[in-house]
Chain A
């Protein structure tokens, strides 16, 4: 625009008319100057605290020693990766990570859709509002308090759940000391906390559906259930696919904080996941290189899965992220 305006004012100026690509770029660059100023703070912080640590990933291939520093530490190639793959913790951490993650997706992916459809059916304005405020509320409880509540409620002798079961004469198993039940505790408490919040996005998609579809279905004599199956669900599919891709992309990233807080010696065989293992190896046992290697392995697998699911979804539903 600038360029055009100038050449209109000076139609015979050969410099402006024959402006080379290079000088045009320089001019654009100059014009963007103030925008770069706005980017500087975030740019510097990202360089220091995100990209610099990414460079630090090379210690996964070295025997890092704090005395020698990153550059001087001896290169050992894939030694730490091999060490992890051969350790008995490899099977356990991978298995637990995948179990919890797939369980989460299996339960945590369809339920928000169901909740959104349910909420969309509520016609009494005030009731709908109360329903929404209540179901979103637990999302704001901190992980720490949430885990505290889980420990209190699930206590086998004095907890609320035990007392309720006691009313009907049932005994409460100690859910948190049973390794095989850990994933269930994790997943269902997560559903309680986040299902409402996760449904917001579907609710928005539902409210965007053209009402003429419903009117036409009414004319054809469709029941409410039929409208849900033939209108709501197909129109939610694109949103659902995007969210599924994103979710799959973080398949190996489970809510690490919650797992760490709910872990104890008894449920460890069912609760040790890759990220808690990375934490323990790295910051408790100070095996920096091994820990970094395991973390890097985790990231790489995540990216591969993300690209794979994205590609698959592009083929199958024509919806993709990238």
Chain B
């Protein structure tokens, strides 16, 4: 049919059109390639700089490949006990925090998705308000302090485990993908709500568990502000706070020295910056392409409006 239509158009205009479209296509692909380069190159640069001599990096001799390949930055970085400890802390916070968040948010999402929940309107309101209003910094700080949670492991995983946004996403998911007849059938078979939730709902909602779990995990992995205001004990600090000392405060973890040793230490600290970025970001960057499917799904579920 398309051929038929094409034949009916005057020949000249058809050629003009296709030329215009071909130019259009060329510019689309051109822009896309430039964008890919603009994103990939800075990331690649960080990686090659971490393996290069700091003087070459600073003088602009490093462009596409490491110059004077060495691992000094990594070696010095990994010698720091603080890095290992904070890395370990971050992993624990991420695992425990994600599990708590799932245990708290998923059941709430399911309960809110049920149309026979008595007082659903008011309860939904209770869960929507925190998305727009909050107590703010100081009142929250005072509450955490009064609960005696300052400088404890729990402050990192418990108080902010509820995410109303994720609850709403879970609710939308359950509403759109769990057929209501399933619950009706289970009821006839004498299955109660709680048992139904654990034996039917959870196995059927792996997608939303994955999405919310991954989002929460990335959030916790990357977070630092709560740690900064609620933790003063160095042994509890997460990785991002140590990165803050290295990258932002420009603090040398290697101590102070004088003379020629000082400049050597300074350049070593520069290398450690690149190494620290790579070491802290690598896990997410490596996992991400494989998990991309789930992340995207989450955006889709979240975009369904009710």
Q: Contact at B130–A46, with CB atoms within 8 Å?
A: yes
Question: CA A303 – CA B134 in complex, angstroms?
Answer: 11
Q: Contact at A142–B221, with CB atoms within 8 Å?
A: yes
| Chain B neighbourhood of A51, CB < 8 A | 130
Q: Contact at A225–B42, with CB atoms within 8 Å?
A: no
Question: CA A201 – CA B134 in complex, angstroms?
Answer: 27
| Chain A neighbourhood of B88, CB < 8 A | none
| Chain A neighbourhood of B121, CB < 8 A | none
- The interface size bin for chain A is 35 or more
Tell which of B32, B127, B162, B194 touches A122, judged by Cβ atoms closer than 8 Å.
B32
With A46-B130, A278-B136 given, is the CB distance from A145 to B28 under 8 Å? no
Residue in chain B with minimal CB distance to A242: B305
Q: Contact at B32–A131, with CB atoms within 8 Å?
A: yes
With A28-B118, A34-B192, A118-B31 given, is the CB distance from A140 to B218 under 8 Å? yes
Tell which of B25, B143, B276 touches A52, judged by Cβ atoms closer than 8 Å.
B143
Q: Contact at B123–A39, with CB atoms within 8 Å?
A: yes
Within 8 A of A (CB), among B20-40: 20-21, 24-25, 28-29, 31-32, 35-36, 38-40
CB within 8 Å: A-B pair count: 259
Q: Contact at B107–A38, with CB atoms within 8 Å?
A: yes
User: C-beta contact mask, A223-244 vs B, less than 8 Å → 1, else 0?
Assistant: 1110000000000000100100
Residue in chain A with minimal CB distance to B229: A283
| Chain A neighbourhood of B256, CB < 8 A | none
Q: Contact at B135–A50, with CB atoms within 8 Å?
A: yes
Q: Contact at B221–A52, with CB atoms within 8 Å?
A: no
| Chain B neighbourhood of A291, CB < 8 A | 136-138
Question: CA A160 – CA B39 in complex, angstroms?
Answer: 14
User: C-beta contact mask, B100-137 vs A, less than 8 Å → 1, else 0?
Assistant: 00011101101110101111000100110010111111
A209 near B: Cβ within 8 Å? no
| Chain A neighbourhood of B104, CB < 8 A | 41-42, 45
A48 near B: Cβ within 8 Å? yes
| Chain A neighbourhood of B160, CB < 8 A | 49
Question: CA A132 – CA B5 in complex, angstroms?
Answer: 34
Q: Contact at A133–B289, with CB atoms within 8 Å?
A: yes
Question: CA A169 – CA B127 in complex, angstroms?
Answer: 57
| Chain A neighbourhood of B134, CB < 8 A | 50, 53-54, 299
A15 near B: Cβ within 8 Å? no
Stretch at the interface among A6-14, A88-96, A147-155, A177-185: A147-155
Q: Contact at B299–A204, with CB atoms within 8 Å?
A: yes
A314 near B: Cβ within 8 Å? no
User: C-beta contact mask, B234-263 vs A, less than 8 Å → 1, else 0?
Assistant: 000000100110111000000000000000
| Chain B neighbourhood of A42, CB < 8 A | 104-105, 107-108, 127, 162, 167
| Chain A neighbourhood of B185, CB < 8 A | none
**Nearest Cβ on chain B to A52's Cβ, whole angstroms:** 5
Q: Contact at B273–A148, with CB atoms within 8 Å?
A: yes
Residue in chain B with minimal CB distance to A167: B60
B204 near A: Cβ within 8 Å? no
| Chain A neighbourhood of B277, CB < 8 A | 145, 148-149
Interface size in chain B (residues, C-beta < 8 A): 98
| Chain A neighbourhood of B186, CB < 8 A | none
A84 near B: Cβ within 8 Å? no
Residue in chain B with minimal CB distance to A32: B118
A68 near B: Cβ within 8 Å? no
Q: Contact at A140–B280, with CB atoms within 8 Å?
A: no
| Chain B neighbourhood of A133, CB < 8 A | 288-289, 292
Q: Contact at B225–A29, with CB atoms within 8 Å?
A: no
Residue in chain A with minimal CB distance to B300: A204
Q: Contact at A46–B162, with CB atoms within 8 Å?
A: yes
Q: Contact at A48–B240, with CB atoms within 8 Å?
A: no
Tell which of A121, A158, A167, A224 touches B57, judged by Cβ atoms closer than 8 Å.
A158
Q: Mark A residues whose CB is within 8 Å of B.
A: 1, 25, 28-29, 31-32, 34-39, 41-43, 45-46, 48-57, 59, 70, 115, 118-119, 121-122, 127, 130-138, 140-145, 147-149, 151-153, 157-158, 160, 162-163, 166-167, 192, 196, 200-201, 204, 218-219, 221, 223-225, 239, 242, 249, 256-257, 261, 278-279, 282-283, 288, 291-292, 295-296, 298-299, 302-303, 306
Instruction: With A118-B32, A283-B137 given, name 13 new contacts (CB 8 A).
Output: A42-B107, A43-B126, A53-B143, A54-B135, A59-B139, A59-B142, A130-B36, A143-B224, A157-B58, A160-B45, A166-B60, A257-B224, A295-B136
10 closest Cβ pairs, A-B complex? A53-B135, A56-B139, A148-B247, A163-B60, A295-B136, A142-B222, A34-B193, A38-B107, A158-B58, A53-B139
| 11 A/B residue pairs, CB under 8 Å, sorted by A | A41-B104, A48-B143, A49-B159, A136-B288, A140-B222, A144-B222, A148-B243, A163-B60, A278-B138, A283-B229, A296-B136
